[in-house]
Amino acid sequence: MKVLVTGTAGFIGFSIAKRLLERGDDVVGIDNHNDYYDVSLKEARVKCLIPYSNYRHLRMDIADDKAIERVFIDHRFDCVVHLAAQAGVRYSIDHPSFYIQSNIVGFANILESSRKTNISHLIYASSSSVYGANIKQPFSIHDNVDHPLNLYAASKKSNELMAHAYSHLFKIPTTGLRFFTVYGPWGRPDMALFKFATSIKKGEAIEVYNNGHHSRDFTYIDDVVEAIVRILNRPARPNDNWDGLTLDPASSLAPWRIYNIGNNKPTPLLDYISALEMALGCKAKLTFLPQQAGDMISTVADICESFDDFDYAPKVSISEGIQRFVSWFNEYYDF
């Protein structure tokens, strides 16, 4: 297939692009290489993709509607994997305009160009953050998610609604994936594992919010990539049993679906840190802090539908995933 992957200088975008290239797909990747975190890491990811003869990299902003439209017209993609976005929960509190431009305006441009060029399947990144104030766990795709706790979460919920409108009006198959705390080699420096490893290696204290009483459904990158690959060839279809009286939030009479992509095994943050200490062979210095505005206390994914529909079953344990990350981390930063 010919696939557009947005955000290929980013963690998940880079990882799925590499997998698609290895299996022989033609991939066009776009990214604006912004400085939300270390640009050199983004450049290093792209450097790994450039040698593939079936890869082309374009540096552009998805908020630029004319540029995005031209890319779609020039390349005539079969499918789109849309992963470009302004990430970060806490960053959204002080920089809301970045999220509106990238996550709302940018996604609208992707949808509109997908419509104009008859894309056969659009997969896009949502987030576990959409569950917001929900306290019933595990989080189910059949639950209402109308109470986001931050603008990042609100932007991802908005993406799901925007996609539904396009699926309904123009019959574009769209599949939204709610990712649960993705980690692994080549990960994001603003995420806990990366920040903790850096601080421990430097002998600095790590900041542990909510006094360590957080838990997360940490999901290894290879499991996420496997899910995307499996879904890519299975465009969303209408749910013929959908009922407007019961209003199931996970499907529709339109070709639109939502899935959780998680590990289904929540890990307390302190256990996560312990696994990192073991992999690094170093003890961490902990500074306990109150809960931060916009943070969720715990997340855990109900992945029943992901398993039923495309046999998604995460395989990498926390200890193994962290060890793989540390091996990459030590080599990349020459520790």
**152 tagged catalytic:** yes
Task: Report helix angle 11-22 to 39-49, nearest 10.
Answer: 10
The first and second tokens of residue 216, run together, are 């997360």
Residue 165 backbone zone (phi > 0: left; psi -120 to 50: alpha; other: beta): alpha
Strand pairing category for 219-220 and 182-183: parallel
Residue 156 near residue 126 (C-beta atoms within 8 A): yes
SS3 content of the chain, % helix, strand, coil (to 5): 45, 15, 40
Which among 37, 99, 152, 166 is annotated as catalytic? Answer: 152
The first and second tokens of residue 180, run together, are 């649960």
Q: What is the DSSP string of 12-66?
A: HHHHHHHHHHHTT-EEEEEE---SSS-HHHHHHHHHHHTT-TTEEEEE--TT-HH
Residue 4 host element (H or E):
strand 2-6
What 3-state DSSP class applies to 267? Answer: strand
The first and second tokens of residue 224, run together, are 């996420």
Residues counted in the chain? 335
Residue 147 near residue 133 (C-beta atoms within 8 A): yes
- Return d(Cα 21, Cα 13) in angstroms, integer: 12
The answer for residues whose C-beta is within 8 angstroms of residue 117's C-beta and 6 or more apart is: 72, 73, 76, 77
Which residues are tagged catalytic?
152
